[in-house]
Amino acid sequence: MTPPKNRDSFKNHRPNHNTRPSHNAGGNKKTKSGGGDNLLYGLHSVIAGLNNPKRKFKSLHVTQNAADKVESLAKARGIDFEILNGRDLEHICGKDAVHQGVVAKVYPLPALDIRDIEPHGLVVILDQLTDPHNVGAILRTAAAFNVQAVVTQDRNSPLGSAILAKTASGGMEHVPIIEVTNLARAMDQLKKINFTLIGLDSEADQAMGDINIPLPLAIVLGAEGKGLRHKTRQNCDLMARLDMPGEIKSLNVSNAAAICLYSLHTNNVLK
């Protein structure tokens, strides 16, 4: 869809997307959220995992100094933990990992599919974002703004990275990541359950601050440098920019995501 030339033309637009998708549409696959090396480290990440009944633990390793911070939660879940020194923890998670004295080996969270998304609320779609720090920061912000799910393509996905889980600071336990094989088809599926898809582009005619479209919404973010791919852009219902008064008009994608979600919140879209 070609972005509108009149920046007000989509301000209160609601596209008429009909019918729910068929069960086998889209070429999506169920994947294991939090897969890969299945490590959680750092206090926020591990405590959030302990507070999430869906997160199953293989083992929990802590230093003596950190034991009292997780002991009650671990006992409540019936999870035994092992006291190790910091060097032993580095052997598990890597010497550069900021583990704060807590490392857990975990099972993946239950897999979700694009068809599991309910036709309400807000979804964030990531178009070929591969940096685990960026995706983790977006997950943390998504949890703060009650995002229903983050959708990403399975190819080159950073989902299995422990760095992502650490950067998300517990966000992975609150916002599911749904991997899909074909992002365009996944976007079409969301349209069929009446989501409006808003692509973020610094050159768009309409400002994000002007948008007052009711939920359900999906915010579509592109990779840094490349932005949204042509087909992804075509599948958006409209494009929007973030208005910034300074000389620099583009931001790190995780920062842009945070401002975008806050803008929708202040416009009462997310309330």
Q: Are residues 180 and 205 in the same domain?
A: yes
Residue 19 lies in a domain: no
Side chain identity, residue 106: V
CATH number of the domain where residue 82 is located: 3.30.1330.30
CA dist., res. 98 & res. 94, Å (int): 9
Identify the bridge partners of residue 123 per DSSP, sorted by sequence position: 149, 218
Number of domains in the chain: 2
Farthest-apart Cα atoms in the chain, separation: 62
| Residue 162, both tokens | 């422990």
Q: Are residues 251 and 148 in the same domain?
A: yes
Residue 20 lies in a domain: no
CATH number of the domain where residue 196 is located: 3.40.1280.10
Residue 21 lies in a domain: no
Closest by CA to 264, choosing from 151, 136, 137, 124, is: 124
What is the end-to-end Cα distance of the chain in Å, rounded? 28
Strand order in the sheet with 196-200: 177-180, 149-153, 122-127, 217-222, 196-200, 238-241, 206-207
Residue 25 lies in a domain: no
pLDDT score at 250: 77
pLDDT tens digit at each of 271 positions of the chain: 334 333 333 334 444 454 444 333 344 444 344 334 589 999 999 999 999 999 999 999 999 999 999 999 999 999 999 999 999 999 998 888 899 999 999 998 888 899 999 998 999 999 999 899 999 999 999 999 999 999 998 887 777 678 888 899 889 999 999 999 999 999 999 999 999 999 999 889 999 988 889 999 999 999 877 889 999 999 999 999 998 888 887 789 999 999 999 999 887 666 6
**Contact residues for 96 (Cβ-Cβ < 8 A; gap 6+):** none
Q: Are residues 122 and 101 in the same domain?
A: no
Q: Are residues 222 and 129 in the same domain?
A: yes
Q: Are residues 66 and 115 in the same domain?
A: no
Its pTM stands at 0.81
The residue range of the domain holding 100 is 39-106
pLDDT score at 268: 65
